[in-house]
């Protein structure tokens, strides 16, 4: 192996009291795609911010082509040939592609005047050379997400980047855009660019990278050739233990129905029926999974069951009591817990503390406060145990919810919703966009709730999740339940056919997909 | 001829609005709300009077007004950009400070709680052709009117044709994106706010020069109307100036209609009504720079 292009030596970076990077090593050799993997909060982003001059390391040094350099700011990093494609694109929506690409290194006429024509020609030539098709005159706000990402890559190349850092580049792309991106990245590597790929999608590491470095809790736990490392081994390195298989389904017959709907019709924002004549019951001690392509009425069904949108026809019963659909308070009082699909929009208040978030919606319950006053210290003391039980990191009642990673936010919501003694649980996309550890944790919790005799309705677009957790599966298509089955009697492919309304014809098969992992799901 | 005279009156009234509104567009395009216009203008107006009174030279007054605007804006920038204070609260604080400070100086220096003695105004520029035009000749002999007309073009070009302007606009929309490219959010925002101070200070100088004196609270809410004009003008210097002309025309009409049966208060309310309609989306869409009002914290 030749001299590394980039060598991070013993990087330590402290953020407040926690150590985000602890003596981390990373070598990037010319022409490789090096995957940097780890769970949310493992220190990947911090490490790259140090490399890119956005954070200063407390200890350690950065070598570029064997020479020690100080990355004082992003400008220094760019001078040394580094370019970063951030997960949340750093683009100015109101400006054009050419303006975004050249910003900070603008093509100038005299006296600080812009030369927009020259900039557009330069960007067009660059886009042509690297086969990154994009119109230099288009405004960012008019572009697709995939095109915006191409602009981000062009920005780095325009500044002469020989090392490209991509932070979770596929998180926002459609499968087709992912293929295009991979082709571009392979071409760049062939052109002599080295790439750091930050991700927690292990299948992508396998498909694209030559080597990988695994970070866990701020430390490097391994650097290995991708060819020698199985996906299972990568997952084990990331999480720190072999993910144990989920507990077997108990054979006990489900009990009384705790969440029932009959002849339900719910209208969407345009007053059109989105849920049509849906009837089902979730009984004590069972998990019922609702599968479906997004936009087939799941959203309206969830909103109605949660009490946020009254049905236009039919009725809902929670723990045997009829509810009107006029208010979440009524539904909660009847015994429903709700893990909402959008944690920042519906689940949490970012600017409130963990302790306060733990009593959201429960403020009328005894013990939360006295009269109009919130509990203060007693509230914080009471929340500490729950934060620990639900593995919310950091378990600090005074931390702000907005500062937590997605996985920890989701665990915080679970800590609130699953500890209020509700008999029925509505879990909407409970693991969307969270890391493997949190997925595993939440899955186990939902199974434990089932075993404790609660009724769980799980709505998810992850078929592996539906198959791994459900006792019964209902498929929602165009607002109707078109299929009912059990995980043992079906697979992802069959479910996929029902979800797209093609099962009755049976003559237009979907491409085969891998079977659902029955171990802790989410690797797919 | 009557129409020309009316137009000249409208332009005359709209000059201070236009200067302040263009200044605000520079500040806000960089991401800093400039509700402090009222205070910036008031300090500028007093400084003009002091400078012109002390030296009997109106141009020294203008220099003092520019300096006062700059210093007041520096206070705003220091608080909002460096210390990330709330921009509205700081701006209102500056307005209250200016109201009190100018009254204090008025009493201490001129021993009057209402107005200063008479000071010289800016002399007319006798220009060939322009000054001899019928109806608008007098208008086009006023130095600050001519300067303002030139500034409308220059400030617009600064914002949309120069490297500085592009960077400033990028910082007002996505400061973190600009920062990752190595641009200093702090420096650019300071520049935007300080330029705003210069222009608003000049607006204050115009008021005092026209009136040949300073009177307590003489800006009379013009700063807020200028801010409204900038919104109606969609945060563009030229658009803001055009909106100021409209507001100026409304005010000229209101003066003309005083004493007639038509309730002139309705016209006085016009700028605010138009602004509300603009914000509600009836007159095109008025969209603020995305990061305006949000302090930039590089650590988050």
Strand partners, A108: A114
Strand partners, A455: A286, A424
Identify the band that residue A405 occupies on the pLDDT scale cut at 50, 70 and 90: confident
Q: Is the pLDDT of residue A250 over 50?
A: yes
CA B37 to chain centroid: 6
- CA dihedral A245→A248→A254→A257, nearest 10 degrees, is 0
Residues A281 and A425 in one domain: yes
pLDDT in tens, chain B (300 residues): 588 889 999 999 999 999 999 999 999 999 999 999 999 999 999 999 999 999 999 999 999 999 999 999 999 999 999 999 999 999 999 999 999 999 999 999 999 989 999 999 999 988 888 888 887 888 888 999 999 999 999 999 999 999 999 999 999 999 999 998 989 999 999 999 999 999 999 999 999 999 999 999 999 999 999 999 999 899 999 999 999 999 898 888 888 887 778 887 787 787 778 777 776 766 666 688 999 988 998 765
For residues B259 and A255, give the distance between their C-alpha atoms in angstroms, rounded to a whole number.
Answer: 85
Burial A14-32 (b: 16+ CB within 10 A, else e): eeeeebbbbebebbbbbbb
Q: Best mutation site among B154, B180, B298 for testing chain A: the one with the most A CBs within 10 Å?
A: B180
Residues A279 and A394 in one domain: yes
Using the 3D structure, point to which of A239, A272, A298 is the last residue of a domain. Answer: A239
A391 in any annotated domain? yes
For residues A472 and B74, give the distance between their C-alpha atoms in angstroms, rounded to a whole number.
Answer: 67
Chain A residues within 8 A of B162 when measuring between CB atoms: 111-114
Q: Least CA distance to A107: which residue of chain B?
A: B163
Helices (H) and strands (E) in chain A, counts: 16, 22
Q: Least CA distance to A78: which residue of chain B?
A: B181
A508 in any annotated domain? no
Residues A264 and A235 in one domain: no
Q: Least CA distance to A75: which residue of chain B?
A: B182
Residues A211 and A261 in one domain: no
Residues A341 and A457 in one domain: yes
- DSSP assigned state of A520: S
DSSP element (H, E) containing B277: helix B270-279
Query: 3-state DSSP call for residue A373?
Result: strand
- For residue A381, what is the domain's CATH number? 3.40.50.300
Of A90, A99, A114, the CB nearest to B180: A90
A223 in any annotated domain? yes
Other C-beta atoms closer than 10 Å to the C-beta of A405 total 16
In this prediction the pTM is: 0.76
Q: What are the backbone dihedrals phi and psi of residue A458, each rounded to the nearest 5 degrees, phi first?
A: -110, 120
With 0-12 CB in 10 A as exposed, 13-18 as middle and 19+ as buried, what is A304?
Answer: buried
With 0-12 CB in 10 A as exposed, 13-18 as middle and 19+ as buried, what is A68?
Answer: exposed
Chain B residues within 8 A of A157 when measuring between CB atoms: none
Using the 3D structure, point to which of A239, A270, A298 is the last residue of a domain. Answer: A239
* Confidence at residue A522, expressed as pLDDT on a 0 to 100 scale: 35
Q: Could you tell me which residues come within 8 angstroms of residue B279 by beta carbon, excluding any fewer than 6 positions away?
A: B231, B286
* Confidence at residue B281, expressed as pLDDT on a 0 to 100 scale: 65
* Confidence at residue A269, expressed as pLDDT on a 0 to 100 scale: 78
**What is the torsional sign of CA A295, A300, A301, A302?**
positive
Residues A269 and A219 in one domain: no
B181·A74 Cβ contact <8 A = yes
* Confidence at residue A244, expressed as pLDDT on a 0 to 100 scale: 63
For residues A52 and A355, give the distance between their C-alpha atoms in angstroms, rounded to a whole number.
Answer: 35
Of B164, B165, B183, the CB nearest to A104: B183
A37 in any annotated domain? yes
B167·A78 Cβ contact <8 A = no
Q: Best mutation site among B161, B165, B174 for testing chain A: the one with the most A CBs within 10 Å?
A: B174
State the average pLDDT over residues A441-456: 93
Chain A residues within 8 A of B183 when measuring between CB atoms: 103-104
A357 in any annotated domain? yes
For residues B128 and A262, give the distance between their C-alpha atoms in angstroms, rounded to a whole number.
Answer: 88
Q: Could you tell me which residues come within 8 angstroms of residue A93 by beta carbon, excluding any fewer than 6 positions away?
A: A139, A140, A141, B173, B174, B290
Distance from CA of B173 to the nearest CA of A (A): 6
Q: What are the backbone dihedrals phi and psi of residue A416, each rounded to the nearest 5 degrees, phi first?
A: -80, -45
A74·B182 Cβ contact <8 A = yes
Higher-confidence residue of A54 and B8: namely: B8
CB contact at 8 A, A19 and A218: yes
Owner of token pair 């006023």: B142
Chain B residues within 8 A of A112 when measuring between CB atoms: 162-164
Of B170, B290, B298, the CB nearest to A103: B170
A114·B161 Cβ contact <8 A = yes
Q: Is the pLDDT of residue A17 over 50?
A: yes
Residues A225 and A361 in one domain: no
A25 in any annotated domain? yes
Say yes or no: ipTM exceeds 0.85: yes
Mean pLDDT of the residues in chain A: 87
Q: Is the pLDDT of residue A513 over 50?
A: no
A524 in any annotated domain? no
Residues A119 and A267 in one domain: no
Residues A289 and A196 in one domain: no
Residues A392 and A283 in one domain: yes
Q: Which domain holds residue A351?
A: 257-499
Question: CA A209, A211, A214: angle at the middle one, nearest 5?
Answer: 105
* Confidence at residue A511, expressed as pLDDT on a 0 to 100 scale: 40
Of B169, B174, B181, the CB nearest to A104: B181
Q: Is the pLDDT of residue A3 over 80?
A: no
Q: Best mutation site among A104, A151, A164 for testing chain B: the one with the most B CBs within 10 Å?
A: A104
B176·A90 Cβ contact <8 A = yes
Tokens of A416: 């609130």
In A441-493, the DSSP E strands lie at 455-459, 472-477, 480-485
Chain A residues within 8 A of B161 when measuring between CB atoms: 113-114
pLDDT one-digit tens code per residue, A303-360: 999 999 999 999 999 999 999 877 898 999 999 999 998 888 889 999 999 999 999 8
The Cβ-side half-sphere exposure at B252, using a 13 Å CA radius, reads: 20
Chain A residues within 8 A of B165 when measuring between CB atoms: 114
Strand partners, A475: A291, A483
* Confidence at residue B18, expressed as pLDDT on a 0 to 100 scale: 98
Identify the band that residue A507 occupies on the pLDDT scale cut at 50, 70 and 90: very low
Of A75, A92, A105, the CB nearest to B177: A92
Query: 3-state DSSP call for residue A205?
Result: helix
Is B2-279 in CATH node 1.10.10? no
B182·A78 Cβ contact <8 A = yes
A231 in any annotated domain? yes
Total of domains in chain A: 2
Residue whose C-alpha is closest to residue A481's, from A325, A316, A275 = A275
Using the 3D structure, point to which of A212, A239, A266 is the last residue of a domain. Answer: A239
Q: Least CA distance to B179: which residue of chain A?
A: A74
Residues in chain B: 300
* Confidence at residue A464, expressed as pLDDT on a 0 to 100 scale: 80
Residues A216 and A300 in one domain: no
Q: Is the pLDDT of residue A126 over 50?
A: yes
* Confidence at residue B265, expressed as pLDDT on a 0 to 100 scale: 79
The Cβ-side half-sphere exposure at A431, using a 13 Å CA radius, reads: 26
Chain B residues within 8 A of A105 when measuring between CB atoms: 181
Size of interface A-B (CB pairs under 8 A): 69
For residues A355 and A395, give the distance between their C-alpha atoms in angstroms, rounded to a whole number.
Answer: 10
State which of A207-221, A253-267, A408-422, B41-55 shows the largest mean pLDDT.
B41-55
Residues A309 and A232 in one domain: no
């Amino acid at each position: 192996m030749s001299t590394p292009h980039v060598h991070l030596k013993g990087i330590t970076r402290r953020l407040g009291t926690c150590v985000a990077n602890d003596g981390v090593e990373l070598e990037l050799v010319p022409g490789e795609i090096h995957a940097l993997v780890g769970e949310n909060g493992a220190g990947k982003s911090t490490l790259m911010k140090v490399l890119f001059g956005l954070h200063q390391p407390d200890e350690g040094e950065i070598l570029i082509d064997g020479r020690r350099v100080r990355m004082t700011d992003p400008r220094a990093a760019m001078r040394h040939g580094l370019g970063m494609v951030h997960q949340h694109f750093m683009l100015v929506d109101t400006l054009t592609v050419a303006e975004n690409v050249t910003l900070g290194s603008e093509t100038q006429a005299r006296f600080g005047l812009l030369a927009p024509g020259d900039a557009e020609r330069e960007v067009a030539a660059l886009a042509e050379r690297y086969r990154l098709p994009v119109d230099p005159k288009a405004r960012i706000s008019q572009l697709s997400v995939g095109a915006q990402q191409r602009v981000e890559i062009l920005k780095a190349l325009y500044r002469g980047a020989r090392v490209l850092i991509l932070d979770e580049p596929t998180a926002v792309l459609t499968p087709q855009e992912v293929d295009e991106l991979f082709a571009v990245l392979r071409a760049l590597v062939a052109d002599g660019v080295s790439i750091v790929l930050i991700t927690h999608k292990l299948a992508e590491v396998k498909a694209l990278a030559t080597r990988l470095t695994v970070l866990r809790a701020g430390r490097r736990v391994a650097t290995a050739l991708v060819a020698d490392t199985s996906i299972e081994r990568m997952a084990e390195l990331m999480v720190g233990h072999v993910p144990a298989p989920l507990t077997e389904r108990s054979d006990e017959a489900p009990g009384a129905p705790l969440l029932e709907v009959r002849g339900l019709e719910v209208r969407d924002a345009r007053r059109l029926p989105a849920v049509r004549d849906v009837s089902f019951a979730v009984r004590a001690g069972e998990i019922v999974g609702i599968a479906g392509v997004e936009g087939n009425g799941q959203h309206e069904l969830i909103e109605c069951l949660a009490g946020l949108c009254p049905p236009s026809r039919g009725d809902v019963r929670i723990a045997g009591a009829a509810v009107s659909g006029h208010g979440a308070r009524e539904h909660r009082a009847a015994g429903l817990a709700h893990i909402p699909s959008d944690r920042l929009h519906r689940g949490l208040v970012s600017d409130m503390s963990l302790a306060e978030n733990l009593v959201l919606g429960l403020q009328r319950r005894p013990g939360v406060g006295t009269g109009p006053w919130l509990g203060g210290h007693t509230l914080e003391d009471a929340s500490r145990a729950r934060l620990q039980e639900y593995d919310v990191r950091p378990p600090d009642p005074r931390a702000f919810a907005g500062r937590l990673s997605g996985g920890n936010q989701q665990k915080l919501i679970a800590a609130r919703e699953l500890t209020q003694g509700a008999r029925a649980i509505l879990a909407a996309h409970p693991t969307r966009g969270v890391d493997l550890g949190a997925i595993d944790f939440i899955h186990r919790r939902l199974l434990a709730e089932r075993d404790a005799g609660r009724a769980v309705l799980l709505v998810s677009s992850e078929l592996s999740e539906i198959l791994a957790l459900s006792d019964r599966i209902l498929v929602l298509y165009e607002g109707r339940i078109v299929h009912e089955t059990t995980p043992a009697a079906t697979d992802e492919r069959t479910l996929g056919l029902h979800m797209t309304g093609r099962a009755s014809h049976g003559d237009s098969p979907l491409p085969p997909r891998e079977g659902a992992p029955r171990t802790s799901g989410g690797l797919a | 001829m009557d129409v020309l005279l009316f137009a000249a009156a409208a332009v005359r009234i709209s000059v201070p609005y236009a200067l302040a509104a263009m200044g605000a567009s520079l500040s806000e395009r960089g991401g800093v709300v400039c509700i402090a216009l009222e205070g910036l203008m008031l300090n500028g107006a007093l400084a003009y009077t002091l400078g012109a009174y002390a030296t009997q030279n109106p141009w020294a007054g203008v220099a003092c007004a520019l300096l006062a605007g700059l210093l007041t804006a520096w206070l705003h920038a220091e608080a909002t950009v460096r210390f990330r204070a709330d921009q509205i609260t700081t701006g209102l604080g500056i307005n209250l400070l200016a109201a009190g400070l100018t009254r204090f100086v008025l009493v201490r220096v001129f021993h009057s709680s209402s107005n200063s003695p008479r000071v010289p105004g800016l002399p007319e520029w006798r220009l060939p052709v322009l000054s001899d035009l019928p109806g608008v000749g007098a208008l086009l002999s006023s130095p600050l009117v001519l300067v303002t007309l030139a500034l409308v073009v220059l400030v617009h070009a600064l914002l949309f044709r120069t490297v500085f302007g592009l960077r400033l606009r990028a910082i007002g929309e996505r400061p973190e994106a600009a920062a990752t490219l190595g641009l200093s959010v702090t420096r650019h925002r300071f520049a935007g706010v300080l330029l705003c101070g210069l222009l608003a200070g000049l607006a204050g100088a115009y008021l005092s020069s026209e009136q040949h004196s300073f009177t307590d609270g003489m800006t009379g809410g013009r700063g807020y109307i200028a801010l409204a004009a900038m919104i109606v003008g969609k945060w563009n210097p030229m658009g803001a100036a055009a909106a100021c002309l409209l507001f100026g025309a409304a005010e000229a009409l209101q003066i003309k209609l005083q004493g007639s049966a038509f309730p002139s208060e309705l016209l006085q309310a016009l700028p605010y009504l138009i602004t509300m309609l603009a914000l509600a989306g009836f007159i095109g869409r008025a969209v603020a720079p995305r990061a305006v009002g949000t302090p930039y914290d590089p650590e988050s």
